[in-house]
Structure 1
Amino acid sequence: MLAELSIRNFAIIDSLSVSFKKGLTVLTGETGAGKSIIIDAIGLLIGGRGSTEFVRYGTQKAEIEGLFHIHEYHRVYEKCEEVGITITDEMVVLKRDITDSGKSICRVNGKLVTLSVLKEIGQALVDIHGQHETQYLMQPDKHLFLLDSFGDKGFKKELFTYEEAFKEYKDISKQLSELSRNEQEIAQRIDLLEYQYEEITGANLLEDEDIKLEEEKRMLGNFEKIHGHLQDAYHSLYGEGKGLELISSAMADFSQVAALDESLKADEEQFGSSFYVLEELTYKIRDMFDSLEYNPERLNGIELRLDEISKLKRKYGSSVKEILRYGEKVKKELELIQNKDNHIEELKAKQSKVVTKLETSGKKLTKKRSEIAKTLKKAIQQQLKELYMEKTEFEVVMERTEENQFLKTGMDSVEFFISPNQGEPLKPISKVASGGELSRVILALKTIFSENQGITAIIFDEVDTGVSGRVAQAIAEKIYRVSVDSQVLCISHLPQVAAMADTHLHISKSTLQGRTVTKVLSLKTDEKVHEIGRMISGVEITDLTKQHAQELLQLAETIKKSS
């Protein structure tokens, strides 16, 4: 769900922070108060097209930030993982700034992202439906996903089986394509690979050789410093009146005390152990000092070897490990190409088996999808009937791909068709003109798909325009039903919808220091009655209007309890 929305310097909004709750939140207010501006801000937050016109006059940038709570299996996890974004505590924070020069700065959980990435993640969290905009359900390429989301566990298991076989099929096809290049390309490729392999193997590299050589180079390059410090350390510790002799004397004195005080026995042993460790270290320093020998020829040889390795790194990897790994890769590719005829035959035989598996699984998917489509059609027809659109026809149109043409999702294409008026032919839902009827069709679809679609928040922006009476009440009940499975934010002029709200926000504007500002107020019960009364009567609110508003609220509570 969208938990918090923060807006600064956006259109007529100076600074606004709104907390949202689960369920149905209805936004009402006078025309021009700023209701749609809040929805516009959310639209930009999820990747909508920006403009300098959104930046409040006299400011340098507009800032929009939203906090979303998601469940642990939400599909946005996968999208974030693809671009290296970490999600912690099941929270996603989207942020977008639009400068007065028109530039956009987008962030997801603090990480800078492109607008396209913000849009992909944002539209997995929020679906906005307005009078002239119907994002997800109006895109034909999404209809197959929506139909599949209506399937049961058995269908999803079969879909997974198909997808695994499809991955194998694509991998084999890629290998065959690479092996089937013309002879000239293959000969050129062999020459390049042989040169690379000979260059790598001819260098006789040892794993981590570069690291060891760098360490040795550092030692030889600092010979004088190392030699001097070792000599000073040894002479400070060993000799008459030096460190070891003084510590030995101190140890003897302490042993005399320990002989008189049993409690110091352990300290005496520790004293002795420390002395012998220090004595051993002194001899080690002496040996290092004696064995240290400056060898300019060795230093020169190391530098030449490191230079040779550096040239290989520029071509094949950033370390000796990576170079050796690349060499193994080249060797395998050479073997594959040089024995390509055998490999092609093996791959073709393997591909034939996978194609059979794909055809079998694809046919099962088609059959199951046909069954799902019938169930979906029946469910949506029922929803349309409840919205007083019993004459409207809905159909899931499925088409098979050509023979041996496999898609990632199967062998089917799916598109939703409707006929809003009796006697009219079925048409793609994406091509039906916007209007009150289409709004109800979309609402019926969202009622069905809200639970399976995985969208965190659904926004309805005045989808109820142009309806009244029993249709208005039916729409109010449907919008509430959608909010049971997904958080819903709804801008509405219908008192029936406002009465169904779990949270009722009133949007108003006022003038402060010569500038227009927008305010948001969460209404209490008596304030709800007054606002719904205003929506019923317009300007004058009478006792009868208030009574009607209270009746609507009571009816809404009865409907919610029965749901």
Structure 2
Amino acid sequence: MLAHITIQNFAIVKALELDFHKGMTTITGETGAGKSIAIDALGLCLGDRADAAMVRPGEEKAEIVALFHLQNNPAARRWLEDNELADGDECILRRVITKEGRSRAFINGSPVPASQQKSLGQHLINIHGQHAHQLLMKNDYQLTLLDQYAGHQHLLVTMRQRYQDWRAARNELKQLEKSKEAFEAQKQLLEYQVNELNELALGENEYPELEEEHKRLSNCGDIAICSQSVLQSLSEDEDNNALQLLQFAQQKLAELASMDSQFNDLQQMLDEACIQVQETSHEITAYMDRLDMDPARLNYLDERMATIMRLSRKHQVSPEELYAAHQALNLELENLNDSDNLIEQLQAEVELKLQACMAAADKLSKSRKRYAKELDKLISASMHELSMQNGKFHIALDSQPETHLSPLGVDSIELLVSTNPGQPMQALGRVASGGELSRISLAIQVITAQKVDTPSLIFDEVDVGISGPTAAIVGKLLRKLGASTQVMCVTHLPQVAGCGHQQMFVAKASEKGSTTTSMVALDDQARIQELARLLGGSEITEHTLANARELLIAA
């Protein structure tokens, strides 16, 4: 519940501190005194949009601080814990607005976006404004009222999630179907490119091997001549070759070793050199035996490498990268070939999600119809209490799965009333007069408020258009509501004001060209004076004072 509010430099308020209590608190005052100013200030702490015009003229900033007790508000405590802003059994909301229009918001001392204050505010206070009967003409607001009364939030969450899932799958399917023509053109190009590369059938490391072989065959003549020359120098020249010279040196070194053992190691080294020369000669001979000067093979290599180079340029890759490019194109073609299967899969998925969506909508519709019947009886009975003895109220729900599917289900809603005997049920706005509309709106707000978890309710002049005995009934309805919920009611009716467990008075004063609004809690004697003023206007008589006392006693 709201326990305390401090307002500084807001509109025409210089400074104001108010304590609030359980039960029903009524707020009265002269016309134009600013009876709703505390509610407007509180709205800023609940995330309403800030404006530079809200700062009192001549001041640097406006500041509003609201203190809430959370002992009986598990929803608000859970929200604070989830957002790591909890601070025991109390919650302090603070809003600062500068004269330039900049705004800062705080929850329990931590700076937060105003949107977070608004999100938390839904668990703290529910404000019913004086224009609620105008909102009552709008179908979306009517549906919201019914859903609030039904309290089936879990069904609404499920419905919204199922709808979003179905919508996302349907959009994906549409996009895929829309892209199918472009896919076909791309598919034809890919098939041509892949077939061309399939014909080439290039191996993963083939091109470097082809290069090496081509290089060898292209230089085959030079290789043979050079190899023969090396062979002659090493061992085949009859007059002078390396092997003969080494063998001669080998003999001489053997003689030296027989005379001095220090030549043994050198002799061994020379023996190894002879062996190396012999082996080199043998390897060159074997190589020349294998050397095949094949013009046909060289021609084949020329043609294949030219084809590889051409396709590499075509695909803008190096010859070494052509194999990888081929594999990538193959994969892309496979994915495109799978698109038809994907469309079929998505079509089945969309149908399943639609069925799930309709199942959620059906559960929501059944719940709405159940609580609509309950509301029909309660609001009709309340209309009788509010001097519409022959009034009937009916919530018409029409489920239209084919045309009306939305995140809120498949239901369209219309509020129907009959206020006179024999009169058929018709749309609320076409039948009810202004006064009747205000009374019906108030009945709906009071009844639905009893089912809302918010621990504090504010009614801001919702009794406009009501007077006499009906006003007394309205006051009793609100007082009854205040027995279980904190109720604050801005009113101009003495019958409603007298029903409050406590009452506050708003006054406006002008001094030295400056206007200031104040609000004070009234004791019993001051309440009698204020009720008498409301009953009799500016002239307070013994008769109006007696009537004021009777109002308090009756309450």
Fold shared, TM-score > 0.5 on shorter chain: yes
> Contact between 1:96 and 1:106, CA under 8 Å: does it hold in 2?
yes
State TM-score, norm by structure 2.
0.61
Higher radius of gyration, 1 or 2: 2
1:119–1:422: structure 2 CA closer, same or farther, 3 Å change rule? farther
1:457–1:412: structure 2 CA closer, same or farther, 3 Å change rule? same
Q: d(CA) in 2 for partners of 1:527 and 1:475?
A: 23
CA shift at 1:159, angstroms? Answer: 6.2
Question: Corresponding residue for 1:439?
Answer: 438
1:548–1:73: structure 2 CA closer, same or farther, 3 Å change rule? closer
State TM-score, norm by structure 1.
0.61
Q: d(CA) in 2 for partners of 1:473 and 1:189?
A: 78
Q: How is 1:470-549 mapped onto 2 (pairs within 5 angstroms)?
A: 470-510=469-509, 515-549=514-548
List per-residue Cα deviations over 1:82-102 (Å, max 9, x = no partner).
9x6734436554433333334
1:407 match: secondary structure: coil
Q: Report which stretch shifted further, 108-117 or 462-471.
A: 108-117
1:358–1:468: structure 2 CA closer, same or farther, 3 Å change rule? closer
Query: Which ranges in structure 2 are unaligned for 5 or more consecutive residues?
Result: 191-331
Question: Corresponding residue for 2:370?
Answer: 371
Q: d(CA) in 1 for partners of 2:418 and 2:48?
A: 30
CA shift at 1:171, angstroms? Answer: 5.3
1:178–1:71: structure 2 CA closer, same or farther, 3 Å change rule? farther
List per-residue Cα deviations over 1:221-251 (Å, max 9, x = no partner).
xxxxxxxxxxxxxxxxxxxxxxxxxxxxxxx
1:38–1:149: structure 2 CA closer, same or farther, 3 Å change rule? closer
> Contact between 1:131 and 1:434, CA under 8 Å: does it hold in 2?
no
CA shift at 1:443, angstroms? Answer: 1.1
CA shift at 1:127, angstroms? Answer: 3.9
1:73–1:431: structure 2 CA closer, same or farther, 3 Å change rule? farther
> Contact between 1:85 and 1:111, CA under 8 Å: does it hold in 2?
no
Question: Corresponding residue for 2:6?
Answer: 6
Q: How is 1:150-549 mapped onto 2 (pairs within 5 angstroms)?
A: 150-151=149-150, 165-166=162-163, 168-170=165-167, 172-173=169-170, 175-177=172-174, 179-180=176-177, 182-183=179-180, 339-403=338-402, 406-418=405-417, 435-510=434-509, 515-549=514-548
> Contact between 1:381 and 1:390, CA under 8 Å: does it hold in 2?
no
CA shift at 1:450, angstroms? Answer: 0.5
Q: d(CA) in 2 for partners of 1:89 and 1:188?
A: 66
1:390 match: secondary structure: coil
Q: d(CA) in 1 for partners of 2:137 and 2:486?
A: 20
Q: d(CA) in 2 for partners of 1:78 and 1:184?
A: 52
Question: Corresponding residue for 2:328?
Answer: none
Alignment-mate amino acid for residue 439 of structure 1: S
Superposed CA RMSD in Å reads 4.3
Q: Report which stretch shifted further, 437-446 or 506-515.
A: 506-515
1:519–1:165: structure 2 CA closer, same or farther, 3 Å change rule? closer
List per-residue Cα deviations over 1:21-75 (Å, max 9, x = no partner).
2221111233343323223323444455655443222112222232334578766
Q: d(CA) in 2 for partners of 1:408 and 1:337?
A: 34
Question: Corresponding residue for 1:278?
Answer: none
Question: Corresponding residue for 2:39?
Answer: 39
Identity fraction in percent? 37
Q: d(CA) in 2 for partners of 1:444 and 1:483?
A: 15
List per-residue Cα deviations over 1:244-295 (Å, max 9, x = no partner).
xxxxxxxxxxxxxxxxxxxxxxxxxxxxxxxxxxxxxxxxxxxxxxxxxxxx
Q: d(CA) in 1 for partners of 2:347 and 2:490?
A: 59
Alignment-mate amino acid for residue 438 of structure 1: L
1:51–1:352: structure 2 CA closer, same or farther, 3 Å change rule? closer
List per-residue Cα deviations over 1:198-232 (Å, max 9, x = no partner).
xxxxxxxxxxxxxxxxxxxxxxxxxxxxxxxxxxx
Question: Corresponding residue for 1:25?
Answer: 25
Alignment-mate amino acid for residue 100 of structure 2: S
Residue 147 (str. 1) matches residue 152 (str. 2) = no
Q: d(CA) in 2 for partners of 1:512 and 1:180?
A: 74
> Contact between 2:461 and 2:492, CA under 8 Å: does it hold in 1?
yes
Q: Report which stretch shifted further, 88-97 or 179-188.
A: 179-188
List per-residue Cα deviations over 1:439-493 (Å, max 9, x = no partner).
2122101121102233443322333345332112111112223334442211223
1:353–1:492: structure 2 CA closer, same or farther, 3 Å change rule? closer
Question: Corresponding residue for 1:201?
Answer: none
CA shift at 1:438, angstroms? Answer: 2.5
Query: Which ranges in structure 1 are unaligned for 5 or more consecutive residues?
Result: 192-332, 557-563
Aligned residues between the structures: 413
> Contact between 2:159 and 2:361, CA under 8 Å: does it hold in 1?
yes
1:3 match: secondary structure: strand
> Contact between 2:33 and 2:508, CA under 8 Å: does it hold in 1?
yes
1:455–1:161: structure 2 CA closer, same or farther, 3 Å change rule? closer
CA shift at 1:501, angstroms? Answer: 0.9
2:58 match: secondary structure: coil
1:150 match: secondary structure: helix
Question: Corresponding residue for 1:97?
Answer: 96
Residue 15 (str. 1) matches residue 12 (str. 2) = no
Question: Corresponding residue for 1:199?
Answer: none
Q: d(CA) in 1 for partners of 2:333 and 2:514?
A: 73
1:371–1:132: structure 2 CA closer, same or farther, 3 Å change rule? closer
CA shift at 1:347, angstroms? Answer: 3.9
1:452 match: secondary structure: coil
> Contact between 2:132 and 2:441, CA under 8 Å: does it hold in 1?
no
List per-residue Cα deviations over 1:520-541 (Å, max 9, x = no partner).
3222233323332333333454
Q: d(CA) in 2 for partners of 1:475 and 1:417?
A: 22
CA shift at 1:167, angstroms? Answer: 5.5
Q: d(CA) in 2 for partners of 1:424 and 1:11?
A: 48
Question: Corresponding residue for 1:236?
Answer: none
> Contact between 1:85 and 1:108, CA under 8 Å: does it hold in 2?
no
Q: d(CA) in 1 for partners of 2:175 and 2:72?
A: 40
Q: d(CA) in 2 for partners of 1:413 and 1:81?
A: 37
Q: d(CA) in 2 for partners of 1:168 and 1:9?
A: 49
Q: d(CA) in 2 for partners of 1:75 and 1:141?
A: 25
> Contact between 1:70 and 1:456, CA under 8 Å: does it hold in 2?
no
Q: d(CA) in 2 for partners of 1:422 and 1:79?
A: 49
> Contact between 2:70 and 2:77, CA under 8 Å: does it hold in 1?
no
Q: d(CA) in 1 for partners of 2:433 and 2:110?
A: 38
> Contact between 1:450 and 1:486, CA under 8 Å: does it hold in 2?
no
Q: d(CA) in 1 for partners of 2:549 and 2:183?
A: 82
